[in-house]
Chains A and B, each alone.
Chain A
Amino acid sequence: GQQLNQSPQSMFIQEGEDVSMNCTSSSIFNTWLWYKQEPGEGPVLLIALYKAGELTSNGRLTAQFGITRKDSFLNISASIPSDVGIYFCAGQGRSQGNLIFGKGTKLSVKP
């Protein structure tokens, strides 16, 4: 079945640094989504991407839908302590609406 490879698995950064994480797949997706999950909570949608090449921002977050439809990245600029959490990418294929999730990137920010 379809699988997503998300990297890095974890990141430890200093407050103010920029962060970049990405997801790749061997399959084509029609939609890429990026979620953030904080401890004890469900995933919350950050950014949704619907077209190949699309670059979308949400505050300090920027995500892009890869031109091949097989990858996506998420950047966080000028990180702050409240950025701490696990970030998940998720892809939605053409033939079905169910989401395939990456295994997550755990972000830790040192003040």
Chain B
Amino acid sequence: NAGVTQTPKFQVLKTGQSMTLQCAQDMNHEYMSWYRQDPGMGLRLIHYSVGAGITDQGEVPNGYNVSRSTTEDFPLRLLSAAPSQTSVYFCASSYSIGVGNTIYFGEGSWLTVV
């Protein structure tokens, strides 16, 4: 059971570089989302998707792009990385966005921007 798979686990970027964090789930979940976790801040929602072809902004979307071309994949793109984007990123998925659906998290991607 793969669940929610994130890659890479660790990444160091230079300011201004671009990169994509990959997220895939094999549970046929409609809802997928990206969170960032910073010390003392808990998890904050960046972007989410309620199904293929549909994305929306969360609490902290600036500097990030997403797309959802398939049900399985929900990549997060940093177009021009900034030191403020140094964080731990978690992808999550659930069967639907409705109340009561368990949200499963990936293992995280540690990103450092220098």
Contact = CB atoms under 8 A, between A and B. Distances in A.
A101 B105 CA distance: 13
A48 B102 contact: yes
Interface string A53-89: 0000000000000000000000000000000000010
A42 B99 contact: no
B97 A98 contact: yes
Interface stretch (B13-21, B40-48, B69-77, B79-87): B40-48
Contact of B96 (A6, A94, A97, A99): A97
B8 to A, nearest CB: 14
Contact of A43 (B43, B48, B94): B43
Contact of B42 (A31, A33, A97, A101): A101
Contact of A97 (B35, B40, B41, B98): B98
A40 B6 CA distance: 13
Interface residues of B, number: 30
Interface in B89-108: 90, 92, 94, 96-108
A45 B101 CA distance: 12
Contact of B31 (A4, A45, A97): A97
A31 B100 CA distance: 7
A45 B42 contact: no
A4 B44 CA distance: 12
Interface in A25-39: 30-31, 33, 35
Contact of A50 (B59, B96, B99, B105): B99
B33 interface: yes
B44 A101 contact: yes
9 contacts: A31-B100, A35-B105, A42-B90, A42-B108, A43-B90, A90-B43, A97-B50, A97-B94, A104-B42
When A and B form their complex, which 10 residue pairs have the shortest distance between CB atoms, in order from nearest? A97-B97, A42-B105, A103-B42, A101-B42, A101-B43, A30-B99, A43-B105, A42-B107, A31-B99, A42-B108
